[in-house]
């Protein structure tokens, strides 16, 4: 040991003098493999780790600590887990975290040992169960049936499952009596068994479902009278995009987050209290098929009561949009070129809208077919109510300087009687590529636009520029060049 690291003469080991309950509390914040190592410090630490109410068992931590970096090191890790569970002295395990290395080769014996570990832990009144288990499957199909004790546990409040082989039995009345938070991630294969996993969750408040590479149709039913936040993510990489559906009966649902590469059929019941919705769909065609359009229409109709809405995906046909009578904040990620009718139709159907964010996907503008052949912006005959009486802030990101985009800017400034701030983000490279216009000319063009609101401030922010302020004598707008690096 380096002489500089030695304890000075007369120095006291103040940490070891702390009461047992404080030392046990400190050890509960580190993985079990490291808390076990404290036994080498002194006799004072010999059995402290056995009273820690958290068992954090991660095979990667064990492999790093003991130098076993191969995928066949499960047997040595299993012996460590067996010892940790048998020596544990606390009557309660508040958190049981068991993470097995990904794609490790296991047989039925290994799966059986994992199930036994879960059963043993659940006897200690577990409050949080965190299980990650994705073994390698090729020649033989592996299934792990969750112990019934997990579903009937009266102390379980948090459940996190990440697996490619767990078989989920349908829940029954009396299951999950105390579960408040659940996150389930299913990978690679048939996950139809999870369809009825959340049919009976009396106190569940937050749920996250993440499903990858589904090969068969999956119908999911959710019934949770106290559910407030739901996150769903579906990633599908087949060409058939088979029909799937989620039926949600959650009368207190406030927040809905939808992610994925497939537009699943959503059926929302009793969704009136819904406050916030995020819909982020990728890799879908710009022109949706009739079936996908019907799903999009049903999903938007189900969230039409929201106050905050974020949409990233294809520009849905304008006529299919519902009325958003309570909407106050709207953010749109705009793809391709045919989105202006879509934006204006949303403004018409959102009479109370106060904040509008338009984020243009600039990747499409690097293709020549999106640069040429545009028609000027055609303003609607009737100005939307929100533009005249409610719209206060507008932000347009990645603007390319094309006439149709500037037409929207000009229109909102002209009729926005209560508009307070408009912020435009762009960069010189896109301005020159799409319209052969310099940043200075773009700035002057914006300044000349008429404004109905005398209190409205306009900001144009360019990337890779210093901060410069411009004041026009014939216009009250102020343009700022802001470094966004």
In a domain, 326, yes or no: yes
pLDDT score for 484: 37
pLDDT score for 69: 52
pLDDT score for 476: 38
Which has more confidence, 353 or 90?
Answer: 353
Quick: pLDDT tens for 376-402: 677 888 999 999 999 999 999 888 777
Check whether residue 485 and residue 400 sit in a common domain: yes
In a domain, 369, yes or no: no
Residue 368: band (very low, low, confident or very high) from pLDDT cuts 50, 70, 90: very low
pLDDT score for 352: 97
Check whether residue 338 and residue 395 sit in a common domain: no
Mean of pLDDT values over 176-197: 86
pLDDT score for 466: 39
pLDDT over 80 at 418, yes or no: yes
In a domain, 1, yes or no: no
Percent of the chain having pLDDT more than 90? 34
Dihedral sign from CA coordinates of 135, 136, 139, 141: positive
Residue 305, helix vs strand vs coil = coil
Check whether residue 343 and residue 423 sit in a common domain: no
In a domain, 73, yes or no: no
**Contact criterion met (CB below 8 Å) for 72 and 32:** no
Check whether residue 403 and residue 316 sit in a common domain: no
Percent of the chain having pLDDT more than 70? 78
Residue 82: band (very low, low, confident or very high) from pLDDT cuts 50, 70, 90: very high
Instruction: Mark which of 353, 371, 401 sits at the end of a domain.
Output: 353
Instruction: Mark which of 302, 332, 353 sits at the end of a domain.
Output: 353
**Contact criterion met (CB below 8 Å) for 337 and 377:** no
In a domain, 327, yes or no: yes
Q: Using CB atoms within 10 A of its CB, is residue 30 exposed (0-12), middle (13-18) or buried (19+)? A: middle
pLDDT score for 412: 94
Check whether residue 326 and residue 396 sit in a common domain: no
Q: Can you give the residue range of the structural domain that contains 399?
A: 388-485
Residue 214: band (very low, low, confident or very high) from pLDDT cuts 50, 70, 90: low
Check whether residue 326 and residue 393 sit in a common domain: no
In a domain, 461, yes or no: yes
Mean of pLDDT values over 422-428: 83
Q: Which of 114, 128, 131, 125 is nearest to 149 (CA)?
A: 125
pLDDT over 50 at 2, yes or no: no
Query: What is the pLDDT of the chain when averaged over all its residues?
Result: 80
Check whether residue 394 and residue 344 sit in a common domain: no
Quick: pLDDT tens for 440-483: 778 788 888 899 999 999 988 876 553 333 333 333 334 343 33
pLDDT score for 373: 46
Q: Where in 164-262 does DSSP place strands (E)?
A: 166-167, 181-186, 206-212, 219-223, 229-235, 245-249, 255-260
- The rounded distance, in Å, linking the Cα atoms of 426 and 465 is 11
Helices (H), 146-224: 148-152
Task: Work out how many domains the chain is built from and give that number.
Answer: 2
pLDDT score for 76: 87
pLDDT score for 370: 47
53-57, 75-79, 373-377: the lowest-pLDDT one = 373-377
pLDDT score for 108: 80
Check whether residue 339 and residue 394 sit in a common domain: no
Our CA dihedral for 422, 282, 196, 144, rounded to 10 degrees, sits at -130
The tokens for 287 are: 């022109």
In a domain, 288, yes or no: yes
Residues paired with residue 469 on neighbouring β-strands, in sequence order: 480
Check whether residue 407 and residue 338 sit in a common domain: no
Contacts of 360 (CB under 8 A, 6+ apart): 334, 396, 397, 398, 399, 400, 405
pLDDT score for 227: 95
pLDDT over 70 at 185, yes or no: yes
Check whether residue 345 and residue 409 sit in a common domain: no
- The rounded distance, in Å, linking the Cα atoms of 247 and 299 is 11
Which has more confidence, 396 or 427?
Answer: 396
Residue 109: band (very low, low, confident or very high) from pLDDT cuts 50, 70, 90: confident
In a domain, 121, yes or no: no
pTM of the model: 0.83
The tokens for 124 are: 């200690």
């Amino acid at each position: 040991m380096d002489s500089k690291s030695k304890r000075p003469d007369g120095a006291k080991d103040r940490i070891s003098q702390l009461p047992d309950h404080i030392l046990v509390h400190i050890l509960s914040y580190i993985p079990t493999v490291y808390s076990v190592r404290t036994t080498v410090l002194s006799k004072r630490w010999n059995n402290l780790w056995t009273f820690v109410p958290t068992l954090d068992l991660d095979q990667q931590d064990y492999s790093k600590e003991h130098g076993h970096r191969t995928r066949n090191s499960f047997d040595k890790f299993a012996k460590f887990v067996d010892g940790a569970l048998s020596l544990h002295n606390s009557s309660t395990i508040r958190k049981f975290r068991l993470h097995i290395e990904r794609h490790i080769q296991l047989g039925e014996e290994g799966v059986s040992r994992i199930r036994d570990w879960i059963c043993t832990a659940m006897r200690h009144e577990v409050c949080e169960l965190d299980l990650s288990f994705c073994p390698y499957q090729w020649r033989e199909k592996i299934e792990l049936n969750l112990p019934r004790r997990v579903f009937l546990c009266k102390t379980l409040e948090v459940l996190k499952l990440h697996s490619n082989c767990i078989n989920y039995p349908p829940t029954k009345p009396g299951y999950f009596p105390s579960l408040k938070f659940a996150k389930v991630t299913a990978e690679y294969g048939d996950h139809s068994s999870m369809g009825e996993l959340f049919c009976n969750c009396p106190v569940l408040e937050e749920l996250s479902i993440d499903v990858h590479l589904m090969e068969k149709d999956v119908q999911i039913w959710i019934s949770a009278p106290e559910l407030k936040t739901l996150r769903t993510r579906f990633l599908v990489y087949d060409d058939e995009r088979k029909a799937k559906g989620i039926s949600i009966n959650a009368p207190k649902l406030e927040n809905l987050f939808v992610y994925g590469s497939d537009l699943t059929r959503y059926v929302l019941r009793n969704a009136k209290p819904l406050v916030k919705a995020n819909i982020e769909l990728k890799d879908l065609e710009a022109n949706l098929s009739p079936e996908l359009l019907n799903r999009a229409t049903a999903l938007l109709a189900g969230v039409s009561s929201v106050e905050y809405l974020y949409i990233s995906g294809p520009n849905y046909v304008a006529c299919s949009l519902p009325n958003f009578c309570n909407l106050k904040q709207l953010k749109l990620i705009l793809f391709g070129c045919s989105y202006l009718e879509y934006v204006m139709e949303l403004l018409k159907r959102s009479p109370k809208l106060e904040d509008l964010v338009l984020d243009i996907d600039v990747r499409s503008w690097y293709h020549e077919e999106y640069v040429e052949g545009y028609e000027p912006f055609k303003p609607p005959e009737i100005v939307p109510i929100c533009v005249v009486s409610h719209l206060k802030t507008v932000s347009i990101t990645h603007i390319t300087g094309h006439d149709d985009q500037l037409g929207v800017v000009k229109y909102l400034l002209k009729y926005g009687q209560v508009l307070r701030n408009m912020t435009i983000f762009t960069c010189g490279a896109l301005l020159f590529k799409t319209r052969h216009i310099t940043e200075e000319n773009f700035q002057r063009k914006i300044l000349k636009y008429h404004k109905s609101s005398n209190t409205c401030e306009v900001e144009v922010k360019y990337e890779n520029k210093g901060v410069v302020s411009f004041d026009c004598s014939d216009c009250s707008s102020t343009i700022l060049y802001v470094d966004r690096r």
